[in-house]
Structure 1
Amino acid sequence: MTKKTIVCVVGARPNFMKIAPIIKALKKTQEHVSFYLVHTGQHYDQAMKASFFQQLDIPEPDIDLEVGSGSHSEQTAHIMLRFEPVLDKVKPCAVLVVGDVNSTVACGLVAVKKAIPVIHVEAGLRSHDRQMPEEINRVLTDQISDTLFTTERSAHEHLLKEGIESRRIHFVGNVMIDTLRANLEHAIAFTETLKNYDKAQPVKVGEYALLTLHRPSNVDDPRTLTRLLLSIAGISRKLPVIFPIHPRTHNQIKQQGLLDVISSPTIIGLPPVGYLQMLGLMQSAKLVLTDSGGLQEETTSLGIPCVTLRENTERPITVEQGTNTIVGTDPEKIQACVDDILTTGGKSGRIPEYWDGKAAERILAEIKRIYL
């Protein structure tokens, strides 16, 4: 059998946790298939990238396209221009993309234009909010993909409604949970993280909230950002809040003159943290407040109550079966949800189907059947 190559693409932080178990699975079957790892450089913090690759045991990429920052159009265009020569050189049997970032759709478009099959991991998720750039990326990537791997049953229905043939859709589970389960025992204790950043505080396990905030709809609108931070300040008077601050969010907080709002000693601001640090922070939290899609899934797997600071979610299973509650940006709804968790413990939830740490194995089995 002639050995074939699959080009695997990562671009931004959420991709790293999704590609890690797939690369691990591909390594086990290299007698028939090799992988060529492309990092587009969409996530341009080199220190953070190195941290994630090391912590998740991802090999150094075969090539880094180093596209850096820019508008959505600029970033997508630069990725496409730099990715095409890679395909001409490698001549893969397929291109595998994950998630919903600009790198996902850009590399998918280049591949399909060159008649190379596209494999999309985490297909079919829909928020039904076309104002979200990620939603556009999801829809377009699914339309040009040959093989679509889904994380939950509702994704299958979305794809069928959009004209995708059932034979191309495969329900395999959630690779994010593969990574979480594989790394639970390696999570870095939240106390160590606080100590490393000289933020040591008398905070106990299960007696703090973890906050992440990065979506443009939340941080780019001054009124929305102010409303959210004032809500967090109110919550911090009842429960300390640990807040790893995304660079984009920090810039907006500074520009809008809102640093004083989060200057309370019960709001513990941190720089962005690595995966194992974030896992430790999550594990020991009383609750998580976030606008991240990945954290909605991870908190459901961990059984930690999640308060989602968005009006919608592309991961409805985390609400229907998991620990997630959608509250939007209304301060009263946020406070009411937090108060309920503090009083009752919040939603207990259950682990969704196929969130068992074996999604990558199922993906590899389908890839071998279809492409090898």
Structure 2
Amino acid sequence: MTHTLLPDAELLSRFAASGDRIVHIIAIATKPDIIKQAPVYAELKSRGANVLVCHTGQHYDENYSGAMLEEFGLEIHAHLAIDGPLATKTAQIIERFSHVLDSVTAAGLTPVPYIHGDTLTSMAVGVSSYLNRVACVHVEAGIRTLTPKGEIYRKFLADHAAGQFDWNEYLAAMRAEATYELGSREPFPEQFNTRVSEAATGFHAAPVELVRGFLLSEGFPPETIEVVGNSVVDATRAAVADAERATIFGKYPQLASGDFIRYCVHRRENTESVARFTVLFEAMETLVRTGSSVLLISLFGTEAAIDEHGFRDRLDALVAEFPETFIYSHVWPNYRDVVAAMLKCSVVATDSGSMQEEMNILGVPCVTLRFGTDRGESLLAGGNVLAPPVNKDFVAEIIQLAASEESLRNVGNIYGETASESLVAEVLKRLDQDWGVFVTEEQRLKL
């Protein structure tokens, strides 16, 4: 789409005639947005609420958006058609979402935007809403990065270099709260995005108790925060139930037997750094050349890094030399295929945030290819370990050990069930027909 699409006037008229002035605006933009917002949309629709879906256009092609919209049954009512560099897209969302809000309020309706997580869209829709005195519902609010202290990493890297690395000691450290500190600016720009989103929020839907603690420590009112779980559970459970319709094993029959490593690197801090990307590429290369079966899922950032950092020939060599044990693929369009393949993995090595959650739900060991993670609860629970991108042999060994570590599989779901139902119930009991979830100072002070 090349131009902004605003909500249909006839649809807004029907909403106005419904007797309920609230319009729930589900903002989506990326694959994780679609996956996690779709169950919230479905829950609102099942309750007869007035719901609009606004796509900003941040992820736009078939593999990243189109096929998943169809899979989840999402109809787009507004499209912002953003394009250009990061700053330009941010400005476009702020301006163009204001027009969406204007169209809703001009029909005599009260908008309640639902923003998700730590995306550019969450931040910019939040800013646009705040400037219009509209408060958001923040789905998966409060995610903050926990990073092991420098001395922790230095000890284990030194032990590894000396041939004295103790896997069980490392696992214990990953599960100890005292290991970690707050304050990281990574992932970039997501840690900025989530903090800005918070300031524009009237209801913070926290996924876990740890995150509620972060929000309280930052001064957000307790009555605006509720632990509701994570809507990714609803989406993942649905995809597991739908996995029999997966077609991916027809394309890649090698995956059907399982026991492969799903590998993906796409975060800006990993792909834009030649040092970090080299470590992560060479760790993967080591795994393939030492007998592991690896599925590399490549995203836009991955492709750019492969070419910009000079790894295309080495990647092509792996494809040619290991046709049965190394699969190189661009991102898949359907979530049911993604989940069906994940269920077969021995381990997932990723720098994705949402995949850390999905692995916990599916009971698959996860290795996070970062220095820290904004899903710290998965580390503390024992289903996830970090492999910092500083030494290829260290990263490769962590992945190999995690693949055979049963304790990483047996944590159990830490993100709750029926999160979307809980979230919507909490929102509905807070709604004001004039203000949505915006709280005036008079209301806050009960004056």
The TM-score normalised by the length of structure 1 is 0.92
Cα root mean square deviation, aligned? 1.8
- Show CA shifts across 1:103-147 (max 9, x none): 111111111111112110111110132142000011111122111
Secondary structure at 2:349 match in 1: strand
Q: Partners of 2:397 and 2:245 in 1: how far apart?
A: 29
Q: Partners of 2:103 and 2:232 in 1: how far apart?
A: 30
Match of 2:297 in 1: 244
Q: Residue 408 of structure 2 aligns to which amino acid in structure 1?
A: K
- Show CA shifts across 1:195-224 (max 9, x none): 43xx554x5533111111100111111222
Match of 1:136 in 2: 192
Q: Partners of 2:116 and 2:386 in 1: how far apart?
A: 25
Secondary structure at 1:371 match in 2: coil
Shift of 1:353: 4.4
1:331 matched to 2:392: yes
1:221 matched to 2:267: no
Which shows bigger deviation, 90-99 or 239-248?
90-99
Q: Is the 8 A contact 2:267 2:301 kept in 1?
A: no
1:268 matched to 2:334: no
Q: Residue 244 of structure 1 aligns to which amino acid in structure 2?
A: I
Q: Partners of 2:310 and 2:414 in 1: how far apart?
A: 45
Which shows bigger deviation, 301-310 or 112-121?
112-121
Secondary structure at 2:416 match in 1: coil
Q: Partners of 2:326 and 2:194 in 1: how far apart?
A: 35
Shift of 1:346: 5.3
Q: Partners of 2:350 and 2:22 in 1: how far apart?
A: 41
Q: Partners of 1:217 and 1:48 in 2: how far apart?
A: 21
Picking from 113, 118, 127, the partner of 1:100 is 118
Q: Partners of 1:261 and 1:189 in 2: how far apart?
A: 35
Q: Is the 8 A contact 1:188 1:279 kept in 2?
A: no
Picking from 50, 53, 64, the partner of 2:69 is 53
Secondary structure at 2:430 match in 1: helix
Match of 1:88 in 2: 102
Q: Is the 8 A contact 2:293 2:326 kept in 1?
A: yes
- Show CA shifts across 1:302-350 (max 9, x none): 1101111000011111111142111111323322222323444452342
Task: Name the CA shift for 1:108/1:343 in 2 (closer, same or farther; >3 Å).
Answer: closer
Q: Partners of 1:50 and 1:336 in 2: how far apart?
A: 37
Task: Name the CA shift for 1:366/1:346 in 2 (closer, same or farther; >3 Å).
Answer: closer
1:120 matched to 2:172: no
Match of 1:158 in 2: 214
Higher relative contact order (Cα pairs below 8 Å, separated by 6+ residues): 2
Shift of 1:156: 0.9
Task: Name the CA shift for 1:6/1:348 in 2 (closer, same or farther; >3 Å).
Answer: same
Match of 1:363 in 2: 423
User: Structure 1: which 5+ runs fail to align?
Assistant: none
Q: Residue 218 of structure 2 aligns to which amino acid in structure 1?
A: E
Q: Is the 8 A contact 2:366 2:402 kept in 1?
A: no
Q: Partners of 2:198 and 2:410 in 1: how far apart?
A: 29
1:296 matched to 2:356: yes
Task: Name the CA shift for 1:286/1:99 in 2 (closer, same or farther; >3 Å).
Answer: same
Task: Name the CA shift for 1:322/1:57 in 2 (closer, same or farther; >3 Å).
Answer: farther
- Show CA shifts across 1:235-277 (max 9, x none): 1232110112102211220232202333322321011102222
Q: Partners of 2:355 and 2:194 in 1: how far apart?
A: 18
Task: Name the CA shift for 1:289/1:26 in 2 (closer, same or farther; >3 Å).
Answer: same
Q: Partners of 2:128 and 2:219 in 1: how far apart?
A: 22
Task: Name the CA shift for 1:262/1:148 in 2 (closer, same or farther; >3 Å).
Answer: same
Picking from 49, 58, 81, the partner of 1:42 is 58
Match of 2:12 in 1: none
Q: Report the count of equivalent residues.
A: 363
Q: Is the 8 A contact 1:233 1:267 kept in 2?
A: no
Q: Residue 134 of structure 1 aligns to which amino acid in structure 2?
A: E
Q: Is the 8 A contact 1:209 1:289 kept in 2?
A: yes
Q: Residue 308 of structure 2 aligns to which amino acid in structure 1?
A: Q
Q: Partners of 1:111 and 1:77 in 2: how far apart?
A: 13
1:70-85 maps to which residues of 2 (within 5 A)? 70-85=84-99
**Aligned residues: percent identity?**
25
Q: Is the 8 A contact 1:189 1:280 kept in 2?
A: no
Q: Is the 8 A contact 2:138 2:205 kept in 1?
A: yes
1:282 matched to 2:342: yes
Shift of 1:16: 0.4
Shift of 1:71: 2.6
User: Structure 2: which 5+ runs fail to align?
Assistant: 1-18, 146-182, 433-447
Secondary structure at 1:370 match in 2: coil
Picking from 85, 110, 128, the partner of 1:110 is 128
The TM-score normalised by the length of structure 2 is 0.77
Match of 1:253 in 2: 306
1:9 matched to 2:23: no
Q: Partners of 1:283 and 1:352 in 2: how far apart?
A: 15
Q: Partners of 1:189 and 1:222 in 2: how far apart?
A: 40
Q: Partners of 2:398 and 2:91 in 1: how far apart?
A: 42
Q: Which protein shows a greater Rg?
A: 2
Q: Is the 8 A contact 2:54 2:78 kept in 1?
A: yes
Q: Partners of 1:20 and 1:139 in 2: how far apart?
A: 23
Q: Partners of 2:144 and 2:63 in 1: how far apart?
A: 32
